[in-house]
Structure 1
C-alpha cells in the first residue's frame, strides 16, 4: 500500500493541538476540531462569541492587561499559561502560543493562537516544586535572620543577645543545639554564654576545638564541598574584630549547600555587629533613656487639659519608672493643696486618686522644706525621707519665673544609673510649665482640633444624598509605603466621583507617583471629563511620569439627581454593585489596559448604568481579593458573599469585609476598599430663619424625628443640644441675627450612627468680646463623636454620633 495521504484541512482539524483564529475585536472566526473536543463546545456556538468569553476570570484579566499589550508590542508571545472554560463550566489548563499577523494589502490583522494541553508539564512542575521548596527554605532562613537582626537592634546589653541568636539558629537551620561562645576581656578564653554562670563551659583559644579555630582564624569551620558534618562554628565578628563564636550542632551528620553556609556566616557577622552596638548602647543608655522619657513626658502632658488631669497623667508616668510613689502639690491662693498622688502596688489606694491629703501624709519637716523651695525658687532637688524611711526628693515646679507647686518622688526606684539632678530639674520644669498652662492648653487644643477637622472636611464631600467610607490596610510583611490609593470628590456637574488606584512598586517613588495620579484624576474629573476621557488624559500624563506607567485604577462618577453611574477600569479589578433587588454583581464592562499601555488602540472604554437608590458600590485594589496559591476568582467570590450584608452600616461593612478578606493567608499586599452608598439612609431636612426664636420648634421637631427611629432619650438630648448650638452659632456669627437669611439643617441615620449637618451661607465675624465666648464648638465636640467644620462656600458643620436604640 502507498503512504497514507491527508488533506490540509484534515491536518488542521485533527492536529495534536488546538488552533484558534481571532479578529482584532476578539471574535472567533475559525477553530479546529481538536480544541472543540478538548472543551466540549460546538463550532457554531464558538464562532458567535469573543475569545475573552472563553477565559477563566484570572485569564480574562491577564488577557486584557498583559497579553493584548504584549502582542501589539512584540507581535507574538509563547508559552503562556491560560485557562479556557469548557462547555460544562470547568477550566482547562493550557499553554498558549499567539501570533499577530497583518495583511499589508488591506491593513487588517488576525490573531492566530496555538493551544497545547498542559498535562505534559508534570515533570517540569516537579522540578519547579523542588526549586520552590528550596526557595521557601531560603525565605524561612532569611526571615529568621531578619527577625534576629530586628530583635538584636532593640537590645542594649550583650548578654541579652544570646536568646535571639539561639532561636535564629534553630529556626533557620534546624540545629538541635545552638551555642554562643563569647571571648573574655583578655581574648584568650571562650565561655559558653548560653548556660548559667555557675556551670558555664570554657574553651582555651589555643585549643584544637572547632570553636577555638573559628575564633582564631576568623573563619567558619565546617564541612567542605561534598562532605557531611554534625557541627558548624562561625565567628561573631564586627569590623574585623572577633567577639566570639556561634556553634550549630545537629542530631545527625548532613551536607550543607553553599547558600546555607553563607547564611551562617551572615548570622555570625550580624550577631557580632549587634554585640558591638550593645557596648555603645550601654555607654549611652542613661542619656538616651532620659531624653526619651522627657520627650514622652512632654508629649503625654499635652493631651489632658485640666490641671487635675495633667497631674494624674504626670503621676502615672513617673510611677513606677522613676519612683514607687509620687505626689503633686500645687499653689492655690498662697496655699499648697494636694492634687494627685500614686501609691505602691501593695497599697489599696488607686493610682492618681484625689483627696484633701495624700495617702502618705507628709511630716511638718517635709512640708517646711517644700515651702522653702516654693519661697526661694531655688532650682535644686531637696533630699527628703518618706514616713516609712524610704529615700525621697522634693522638686520645685516652676513656670514663668515662679514656683507653682512641688513634685515629691519617693521609693527605692530612685536609681542613680537612670536619674541625676539635672534630669530631675528638667523634668520638674517641663511638668510645672505644663500644669501652669492647663487652661491655655485646653483652648489651644480646641483650636487645633477644629483646624484639623476643617482640613479633613476638605477631603470629604458633604452631601446627604450619598455616604462614602474607605479602609486602607498596609501589607503584613512590610511597613514600607505602598502605591494603593483612593479619593472622593464632587465634580463640577453636581456628581460625586470615586476612584481607587494601584501604582506599581513600593517606597517613596511609588508614594510620590500615587499623589500625583490622585491629583491628576481629581483635576481632570472636576474639569467635566467623562471617565473614558479621564483615562485617556491619564495616559498622556503618565507618559511623563515613569513611576505611574502600568498603574491601574477604577473611576466611577455618580450623578446624584438621577442615579446615573458611569465608570471605567484601566487594568483594575471590576467594581462590585450591591443592589437589594438584584443582589451583588461585578461590573465587567468599561474595561481597558493599565495606564501608559501604548500597544494597540489608545481608545479608552467606559460603561453606564442606573444605580438604584439605596444601593452600594465597592471599589478596591487587588490586595483585597488576591491570595498566594489561590485563583483570583475565588477571592472575587468570597468578596461577593461578604458584601451582601444589608443590615450592616456602611462604615462597619468596610471594616468587616477587610478583616474577613485579610484573615488567614491574606494581607501580603497593600489593600484599600472604598464603599459608596447612594441615599439609603433616613433623612431629616429643615430650613429656619436666622432668628433665635426658631430654635425651640426645631429642637422639638428633630427630637420627634430621632424618637421615631428608636434613638434613646439620652442620646436624643445630646444630638438635639449639639444641633441647637451649631444653629445658634450660624445665626449669631454667620448671619448676625438677620431673620431674612436661612439656616439649613439635615440629618441622616445609617445603622446606629446619626449624621447631622448645619449650613449657613453667611460670612462669619469674630465676636466683639471673648469672655464666655467660643464655648459652643467645645460643647459640640464633647456631645458628639466626630466634628468637622467646612468653611468653603459659607460654613457647614458636620457632626456624627453612634447611638443606642431605646430600651437597650
Structure 2
C-alpha cells in the first residue's frame, strides 16, 4: 500500500511556498506577505504590511510598476514574468520575476507571485558580457583584417599611418594615434605626421623603450595613458605606434595582444614595402644608368656629352646639375640660365683628393640660400678630369630622385660612368682632329690651273661618329693636254683608313703618268694592293679627259658610275667599263675601260656611296634623284653646285657614311691660241685676232681694249727682252674664259735680260699690272706671264 501523505494546512503552504506571495490593494498597499518573501528581503513580520510596494522597489522598477505594470494589469487582469528589482532591508537588491493577477472585489485585490531570479540575472549578465566581448573581438578582428589588406596594397612607407590610425580610433577608442619610423642614419624615430622632432633611440621615453624592448610599453601620462607597440619584422624594429587615451582606464589583455599583432603585421608590411622600394629603386637606377650610357655614347663631342649629361640628370636625379671640366675651363649646367655654383677651393681640393685616391664619394656642400648639394669627382684613367655638382630640391636630400633616395653607391657609379664617357669623347675628338687633319691634308691639293676646266669639291663626314673615313678625290695633269680625275673609297674607318687613302691617292697619281689609260692604271693598282692589305677592296672611279678633243676615257673598280650632264641639263650615268674593287680581280683578268667625247659645256660628277646610299631607300631611286638634281642645277655656278647637291641629297646634314663629291666643268668655249713670231710687226695681227675672239666670248669693248693692250705689251716684252728680236723664235699666247674673268698666258723660251739703256722699254710690266686684275711672272726655263682680268658684270656673254 502506498505510504500516506503528511497533512499540511493552507497557512503553512502559503508561508513556506518556494516563492514569495504578496496581496496588495489596487493602489499598491501591501495587505499580506508570506514568510518566504520576508526571508529573501530580510524584513521582519509586520514591517511590510500597510506599506506600498513602490517603497521596496529598487531603481527603475518603481517607475516601471507605475507606468507599465499597474496599467497593464488593469487592462489584462494578469501579467507574467515581469522582471523587477526589490530593495532588501540591508539595501542590497533582489532580482526577481513577477506574476500578478487582479481580483475583482469586494474587496479588489492584486495577488503577486515573486520568484528569485538572482542566478538567472547573473547568468544573463555574464552572457551579455561575453556577447559584448565577442562582438568587440569580432570588430577588432575585422579591423585587423582590414589593416592587413590595406597594408598589403601600400606602396610607400609613409602611407602606413592611415590604416593604423583607423584601428586606434575604432578598435581601442584612442584619442590620438601616432606612427614613428626608424631612421637608421640618424639612429632615431621620425614621426610620420611631422609633429615634433626626431626621437633618439637613447631617449628614456616609451617610444625608444618599445623600440629597444621589442614589446608593448605602457606609460601613465598626466591626464591619460600612452601605450606604445613596436613595428617589428622578424626581430628588427622598423618603427613604433603610440596609442594615447584620455583617463586612467586600462585596456584588457586582448586589446594589448591586438596591439602586438598590429605591430607585427604593420612591421611585415613595412618590410615588404621597403624591399619593394629597394627593388624598384635599384631597377630604376640600373635603367637610368643604362639610358645614361646609351645616350652619352650616341652624343658626339666632349662639350656635347657634358651638356647631354646634365640634361639627363635634371630633374630625375637632381634639381640642378653642373659639370666643370678641367680642359679650358669648360662648363655645362642645367636648367639653362640657372645661376652657376662656385665651389669653394677647400671642397674642390677634397673632391680631387678623393678622386686621385680612387674614391668617388661626394663632398656635401651648402649654398648661402640654404640649398644643399653634393660634389663628385669625375675620374677616368686614374686622373680627375672635372667635377659633377648635384643640388637637391627644397627640403630634399642631395642627390635625391623624385621617387627614392638614389644613395651614395648610385652617385659613385654615375660619376664613374660619366667621367669615363666624357674622357672617351675627349680622346675621340683628339683622334678625330689628328685623323681629320691628315685626311684633309691629303684631300686638299692644288689642282692644275687650266682655263679649259674648273673643279669644285665637297667632303662631309658621317654625323654619327667621330672617326674619319677613307673617301678621297683628286685631280692632276697626266700630260700637257689631259687631266686625270679620280674618286675612291677605302674600306674601314679611322687613321688606318685615312693613311691607306693617302697611299692609294699617291699611287694613282704615279701610275697615271705612264699614260696607258684608265684600265692600265687599275691593273697596276691591283698589283699594288696585292701587298697592301689596307688597300684591298677599295672602290675607285678613274677618268682621263683630253682638254683639246674632249675625249673621256674612264673605268670603275667596284665604284658607282660617274654622272655626265651635257649642255642643256641632259644627265647620263656612265655604266660601262665596270669591274670589281681593287684586289678582287682574278689573276689574268683584264680591267675594262670605255671612251666617249664630252661636249664642251658639260659637267662630270664623281662621288662616293655616302652621297646616294640611304637606309630604307632603293639605290636606283637615289641615283635617279641625283640625276634630277644635277639636271635642275646645270646652270648653277660650279662653286655652289657641289654644296647644293650635297644639301639636297643629305637633308639631315649627313648620312651613315662619309661622302665626297667632285664636279668638273669642261669649258664651253675653245681657248684662243697663237704662236707669234718674234717680230714687232706681228703684234698688229695678234691684237686683231685676240680682239675678235674676245668679242665672240661676249667681252665688252672696254675690257677687250685692256686685255688686248696688256697681251700685246707682254708679247712685245718677250720679243725684246726674252729673244732680243731673234725672229727665228716665237712667243706662245693662250687666252681662256674662266668664270667671270679672262685668263691670258704669254710664254717664251728665251733668256730674259734687263734693258740695255734708258731709251729701251722698261714700263711694260707696270702697264700690264694696271690693266689686269692679277699678274704672275715665272722666270724659270724661259719666262711665263700669267694675267687675269675680271670682266665687268654683264659684259661677259658666256
The TM-score range, normalised by the shorter chain, is 0.3 to 0.5
What TM-score results when the alignment is normalised by the length of structure 2? 0.46
Q: Which has the larger radius of gyration?
A: 2
What TM-score results when the alignment is normalised by the length of structure 1? 0.46
